[in-house]
Amino acid sequence: MARITIDGIAVEVRDDATILEAARKAGIDIPYFCYHPYLKPAGLCRMCLVEVEGMPKLTPACVTQVRDGMVVRTDTPRVKKAREGIIEFQLLHHPLDCPYCDQAGECMLQDITYRYGRATSRFVDEKELFPTKFYGPFIVYEQSRCILCKRCVRFTHEYMAGTDWNVYFRAAHSLIGTYENKEIADYFTCNLVEICPVGAITSRLYRYKVRYWTLEWARGVCRECGLFCSLDYGIRENKAYRAKHNVNSPGPWICDKGYFGFECMNHPERIKFALERRENKLVNVGLEKVLNGITQALGRYKPEEVAFILPSGLSVEDAAGIRNFMDNFGIKKAEYRVGMEDYLPFGSNVDSLEEISEARNILVLSGDISNSYPVIALTICEAIGKGANVVLLTSWDYYLMKRVNNLFCIKPSCEDGAIYSLFSGKWDEFTGLSREEYERLEAFLQTKPMIVLGPRAQEAVRALIVDYAIKNGLKYIILDRSSSSYVAYTYGLFCKGIDSLLEEVKAGSVKALFVLGVDLFREVPNGKLVRDALGSVDFMVYMGLFFNGTARYADYFLPLTELVEEEAHFVNVFGKLTKSKKSLAREYEERSIREWLKLISEKMGKKLDLEVREFKPKFVLVEGNKKPKDIVLSGSGDFEALFEIPFYRNFRYMEGKSKLLEASPEPVLNVSIYDARSLGLSNGDYVSLDIGGPSFKYKIRVFDELVKGVLVADTGFEGFPVNEALNNRIAKVKIKK
C-alpha cells in the first residue's frame, strides 16, 4: 500500500495504482478522455495532467504509478492552464455540432469543456470536416468529432482480438475505421458506441430519435443468454429508445443482442391483444371471450393430454407460475429443451466472469459458445489478451475459431467422440484427431485448464466432463442452449425431449399444447416433425409478441410482456439471481406468462399462487459412464453440413428486431478453403445446397479454419424452410453451383 496526498487529501492505494485511480478514490475530479477503468492505460489525450511535487513537468495521471509519500496537486494555475490548452487543441477541428450530435448530454468533451475549458477559442482557422461513415448496420462514425483517444481501438485489440477496427494513417490525418471501410458487425460492436467518450461513434438504432436528457432510465435485464446482463433502458413516454450498460454486472461489456435487442418492445407489428381463431384468421374478440374459449377447450382434455413448450429466458416467477398451474390441473408434460439436443447436466463451479478472465489455461470444447453465450466468449478473448493459453476443440465457433491460440477443428459429427475420447483417455482414430494432436490436447489437460463446454455436446460427454473436472479439481462451465436451465430444471419443467413430445402430439396422445414464445419452426431442427405435430394438434394456445410460423397453427394468441414491462428474477449460469424491474406501463392486453395462467386458472375455478417465497437452484449430475450416441447422418453427398442459426438471428422474438437482422441479411454457407479451391468458389458466390431433395440458395463465405468436407449453413430465415428438410443439426449434403 502506498500513501499519497492529492490536493491535501491523503489516500491509501495499492502500490501499482495510478495517480488517477488514487484521485478517483479520494473523490477528486481529474478530467480524462482516454483512460477507461477496464482498458490498459495509454496516456494519449493528456487531459489528465497534474503537478507532482519534485517533478519539473506536468505528468499524466492515468499512466503515472503512485509512489509512497507522493504529493500531487490538481488545483494549481499551471494545471488549469494546461487543461485549457488541451481542450483548446481538442476543439481546434471539432465541429461542435452538439445540436445534431447524439452524444450531447452524455458527452465527456461537453462536460469537460464546460468545467475546465475556456469560454472562447483563439483559433480562427477553418475547421476541417469529414463526411459521415456508416460501418455496417450498427455503427455511425463521425470522423470530425473523433478526439483520437483510441479507446475503441484499444477495446477491439484487448478484448475482440482480431477485429480490424484500427487507426489508419498518421498524425493529423489519423482516422479510425476498418480496412477498406468494411462493415463491422462482430458480436460486440455496441461496446464501441458505449466506450467512445464523444459522439464519434454512435448507434444507428438510436440515431437522431430522441435527445439524451429526455430519457428516463430503467434497470432491466437482457434475456438472450444465460448471463442475464444488467442493462438500463432509456425510456421516454412509455417507449424504450436506448439501452446502456451502466452496471458492471456480470461484466463490463455486453453483446449486440442485448444492446440492440430491446427494439421488439416498440415494434409496430407487435400484437397487443388476445386473439381467437375464426375461420383461418386470428381476430380480436375481446378478452372475456378468449378466456372463456380457452377454459372451455381445456375442460375437454385429460391432464395427460396437455403439454407446455417453454421459451428460453424464463423468469423464476413464470416458471413457478407454470409449475403451480400444472400441479393445479395435474398436467405432467412440459419441455424447455427445444433445441433437440442434450441440455443436461449443466452448471458450473465458476463464480464470475472475472474468474474466466483470470484463468491461465482454458480448454474450450464444442460450440457454439460465442453464439449462445457471447460475453463468455468475449471474456475468453480477454483472457487471451492477458496471456492465457486457450485451446479450442470444435467444429464451428465463428468468433472464437479465429481468435484462440490453438485450434483443433474437427467434423461436426466427430465432436462428441473426440471430446469423449480425450476425457476417457483412449485415442480413437475415427474422431478426426491425429495421434499427435490428441497427445497435445492430453498434455494441455495436464495443466489443469478451466473447461468450457458448449451447448452442442451430448449428455454422455457433459456427464463425463463434470465427473472428470470434479475428480481432478478443475474449474468447469457446462453450457446449454437455454438461458433458463436453472429455473426450468429446478421446477422440473421438462419431460423426455422435444422430439418425443412432438411425436406424442403427432400420434394424438397429447392433444392440447401451450407454446410460450417459441417459434418451433425456427428453433427445432426438424421442421417436418414440427409441421406434422402442429398440423395434428387439436388445440393450441400460443403466447408471444409476434405472429410467426408457429402462431399460424394457434387457436388462441395471448400477447406477452417483455423486458421492462414486468418485474422478474432470473438465475444466470453462475447460479446468481438478477432482477429486472417493471418500468413500462402496459398499453393493452399484454401480460406475463404467469398472469395469463392465473387468469385461466381462476376462470377454471382454481386459485393460482404466484408468489415465489424462496428459490434454491439445483442441478443434476448424471452418471458419467455412458457412451455418446452415434450420430446418424441423414441425406447423401460428399459434404457434412452443420446447420446453425447465425448470431444475428439467434434470439427471442426475432421478428421484432429488425436492426439486428440487418447484420445477417441472407443465409450464408461457410466453406473451408480447400473445398472452395477445388470447387472454384469465392466469397459472395451463390450456390444451391441439396439436402436430400429440396435445394436452398446460399451465399458463400470462405472460412479458412474449417476442415475439409465440412460446411456450416445458416438456418432461421423466414421463408427459408431448411429445417423442414432436416431431422437433426447435422446432415450430408451436396453443393450445386
The residues that touch ligand FES, with contacts defined as CB under 6 A, are 32-35, 43-48, 60, 62
Length of the chain: 737
Q: Does 146 bind ligand SF4 (CB under 6 A)?
A: yes
CB of 215 to another protein, least distance (A): 11
Q: Does 697 bind another protein (CB under 8 A)?
A: no
Cβ distance to ligand FES smaller for residue 147 or 465: 147
Residue 148 contact partner, candidates another protein, ligand SF4, ligand FES, none, CB within 5 to 8 A by sort of partner: ligand SF4
Residue type, 231: L
CB of 254 to ligand FES, least distance (A): 24
Residue 575 contact partner, candidates another protein, ligand SF4, ligand FES, none, CB within 5 to 8 A by sort of partner: none
CA-to-CA separations, 614 to 345, 417, 593, in angstroms, rounded: 23, 40, 19
CB of 108 to another protein, least distance (A): 19
Side-chain-facing half-sphere of 579: CA atoms under 13 Å? 4
For ligand SF4, how many residues bind (rule: CB under 6 A)?
Answer: 25
CB of 114 to ligand SF4, least distance (A): 10
Q: Does 200 bind ligand SF4 (CB under 6 A)?
A: yes
Radius of gyration from C-alpha coordinates of the chain: 28
CB of 79 to ligand SF4, least distance (A): 22
> Is residue 639 classed as helix, strand or coil in its secondary structure?
strand
CA distance 697 to 712: 14
Q: Does 191 bind ligand SF4 (CB under 6 A)?
A: no
Query: Which cell numbers hold the place of 21?
Result: 485511480
For another protein, how many residues bind (rule: CB under 8 A)?
Answer: 18
CB of 146 to ligand FES, least distance (A): 14
> Is residue 737 classed as helix, strand or coil in its secondary structure?
coil
CB of 42 to ligand FES, least distance (A): 7
Residue 208 contact partner, candidates another protein, ligand SF4, ligand FES, none, CB within 5 to 8 A by sort of partner: another protein
- Of residues 135-164, those binding another protein (CB under 8 A): 140, 142
CB of 97 to another protein, least distance (A): 6
Q: Does 152 bind ligand SF4 (CB under 6 A)?
A: yes
Pick the closest to residue 393 from 426, 419, 429, 358 (CA basis): 419
Q: Does 161 bind ligand SF4 (CB under 6 A)?
A: no
Q: Does 131 bind another protein (CB under 8 A)?
A: yes
- Inter-residue contact 354 to 326 (CB < 8 Å): no
Cis peptide before 368 (omega within 30 of 0): yes
Query: How would DSSP label each residue in 177-231?
Result: E-GGG-----S-THHHHHH-SSTTEEETTTTTTS-GGG-EEEEEE--SSTT--EE
Residue 210 contact partner, candidates ligand SF4, ligand FES, another protein, none, CB within 5 to 8 A by sort of partner: another protein
Query: Which cell numbers hold the place of 91?
Result: 476543439
Residue 640 contact partner, candidates ligand FES, another protein, ligand SF4, none, CB within 5 to 8 A by sort of partner: none
How do the residues of the chain divide into helix, strand and coil, expressed in percent and rounded to 5? 30, 20, 45
Query: Which cell numbers hold the place of 336?
Result: 424447455
Do the bridges between strand 476-478 and strand 389-394 make them parallel or antiparallel, or are there none, so unpaired?
A: unpaired
Q: Which of 64, 90, 110, 191 binds ligand SF4 (CB under 6 A)?
A: 110
Alpha helices in 435-564 (DSSP H): 435-445, 459-472, 485-490, 498-507, 520-523, 527-536
Within 10 angstroms of residue 697's Cβ, the number of other Cβ atoms is: 12
Residue 147 contact partner, candidates another protein, ligand FES, ligand SF4, none, CB within 5 to 8 A by sort of partner: ligand SF4
CA distance 215 to 240: 9
Cβ distance to ligand FES smaller for residue 108 or 407: 108
Cβ distance to ligand FES smaller for residue 33 or 116: 33
CB of 149 to ligand FES, least distance (A): 7
CB of 101 to another protein, least distance (A): 9
Q: Which of 9, 98, 167, 631 binds another protein (CB under 8 A)?
A: 98
Query: Which cell numbers hold the place of 410?
Result: 474437427
Q: Which of 207, 607, 697, 708 binds another protein (CB under 8 A)?
A: 207
DSSP annotation of 66: P
Q: Which of 97, 269, 439, 623 binds ligand SF4 (CB under 6 A)?
A: 97
> Is residue 128 classed as helix, strand or coil in its secondary structure?
coil
Q: Find the farthest-apart pair of alpha carbons in the chain and give their distance in angstroms, rounded.
A: 89
> Would you tell me which residues interact with another protein (CB under 8 A)?
95, 97-100, 104, 129, 131-132, 140, 142, 207-211, 213-214
> Would you tell me which residues interact with ligand SF4 (CB under 6 A)?
94, 96-98, 101, 103-104, 107, 109-110, 145-152, 176, 195-196, 198-201
